[in-house]
Structure 1
Amino acid sequence: MKNKKKDQLALSKNGLPLSQKKILFVSRWGEILDVALAVKNEGHHVKLFIEERSCREIGYGFVQKSADWRKHIAWADYIVFDYTGYGEECEKLRTEGKLVFGGSSYTDSLELDRNFGQVELKRHKIKTLASKDFYSFSDAIAYIQTHPNAYVLKPSGITQELKQLLFVGNDDRGLDVIRMLFAYEKSWGDRFGTFQLQNKVKGVEVSIGAYFNGSKFLQPVNITFEHKKLFPKELGVSTGEMGTSMFWTLDSPLFQKTLKPFESTLAQKNFRGHIDVNCIVNGNGIYPLEFTSRFGFPQVFIQRAGLSEPISALLMGVAEGTKNQIQVKKGFQVGAYIVVPPFPYDDKKTFELFSKDAVIVFKKDQKEGVHPMHVKMVNEQWLITGNTGIAVLVTGTGITMRDAQRNMYNRMKNVIVNNGYYRTDIGDRWLEDSDKLWSWGLL
Structure 2
Amino acid sequence: MDAERFLFVSADAALITDLAWQVHREGHDVKYYIEAERDREIGDGFVPKTDDWRAEVDWADVIVFDDIWVGSDIGTGELAQELRERGKAVVGGTPHTDHLEEDRGYAMEILEEHGVNTVEHHIFHDFDVGIQHVKEHPAPYVIKPLGEVQNVKRLLYVGSEDDGSDVVDVLKAYKTAWGHRMKGFQLQRKVEGVEIAICGFFNGNEFIDQVNFNFEHKKLFPGNIGPQTGEMGTSMFWAGQNRLFEETLGRLEGWLAEEGYVGSIDINCIVNETGIYPLEFTPRFGYPTIALQEESIESSTGQFFADLARGVDPDPDVHRGYQIAVRVVLPPFPFDDEQTYDENSRNAAVVFETERRDGIHLEDAKRVDGQWRVAGESGMPIVVTGTGDTMQAAREQAYDRIDGIVMPNMYYRDDIGERWINGDGDRLQAWGYLGP
TM-score bracket, shorter-length normalisation = over 0.9
1:217 and 1:324 in contact (8 A); partners too: no
Aligned-pair CA distance for 1:325: 2.3
The SS at the match of 2:284 is coil
Aligned-pair CA distance for 1:251: 3.8
Which segments of 5 or more consecutive residues in structure 1 lack a partner in the other structure? 1-16
| Residue in structure 2 matching 1:440, options 414, 431, 434 | 431
CA distance in 2, matches of 1:150, 1:97: 49
Give the equivalent residue in structure 2 for 1:426: 416
1:218 and 1:326 in contact (8 A); partners too: no
Aligned-pair CA distance for 1:424: 0.5
Give the equivalent residue in structure 1 for 2:119: 129
1:59-208 matches, within 5 Å, as 59-84=43-68, 85=74, 86-208=76-198
Match status 1:316 vs 2:300: no
| Residue in structure 1 matching 2:388, options 370, 379, 398 | 398
Aligned-pair CA distance for 1:216: 0.6
Give the equivalent residue in structure 2 for 1:329: 319
1:365-416 deviation digits (Å, cap 9, x = unpaired): 1111010110111111111111111011000001111111111111111111
1:87 and 1:108 in contact (8 A); partners too: yes
Match status 1:214 vs 2:204: yes
The SS at the match of 1:429 is helix
1:137-165 deviation digits (Å, cap 9, x = unpaired): 11111111111111000011111111111
Aligned residue type for 1:23: F
Match status 1:23 vs 2:6: yes
1:167-216 deviation digits (Å, cap 9, x = unpaired): 00101111111111111111122212221111001100000001001111
Q: Identity, % of aligned pairs?
A: 45
Aligned-pair CA distance for 1:110: 1.2
Aligned-pair CA distance for 1:238: 1.1
CA distance in 2, matches of 1:354, 1:178: 37
Q: TM-score if structure 1 supplies the norm length?
A: 0.95
Aligned-pair CA distance for 1:323: 2.4
1:261-280 matches, within 5 Å, as 261-280=251-270
1:57 and 1:385 in contact (8 A); partners too: yes
Aligned-pair CA distance for 1:105: 1.1
CA distance in 1, matches of 2:416, 2:148: 28
The SS at the match of 2:286 is coil
The SS at the match of 2:418 is coil
Give the equivalent residue in structure 2 for 1:363: 353
The SS at the match of 1:313 is helix
The SS at the match of 2:231 is strand
Aligned residue type for 2:62: Y
Give the equivalent residue in structure 1 for 2:71: none
CA distance in 2, matches of 1:257, 1:43: 39
1:211-262 deviation digits (Å, cap 9, x = unpaired): 0011110121001011111111111111121001100001421001100000
CA distance in 2, matches of 1:322, 1:402: 35
Q: TM-score if structure 2 supplies the norm length?
A: 0.96
Give the equivalent residue in structure 1 for 2:250: 260
Aligned residues: 426
Aligned residue type for 1:441: G
CA distance in 1, matches of 2:123, 2:51: 38
CA distance in 1, matches of 2:400, 2:343: 30
CA distance in 1, matches of 2:356, 2:317: 25
CA distance in 1, matches of 2:316, 2:93: 20
CA distance in 2, matches of 1:67, 1:138: 46
CA distance in 1, matches of 2:54, 2:380: 28
1:43-62 matches, within 5 Å, as 43-62=27-46
The SS at the match of 1:190 is coil
Aligned-pair CA distance for 1:346: 1.6
Match status 1:231 vs 2:221: yes
Give the equivalent residue in structure 2 for 1:32: 16
Quote the RMSD (CA, aligned, Å).
1.0
CA distance in 2, matches of 1:196, 1:321: 35
Moved more, 246-255 or 335-344: 246-255
Match status 1:250 vs 2:234: no
2:4 and 2:28 in contact (8 A); partners too: yes
Match status 1:281 vs 2:271: yes
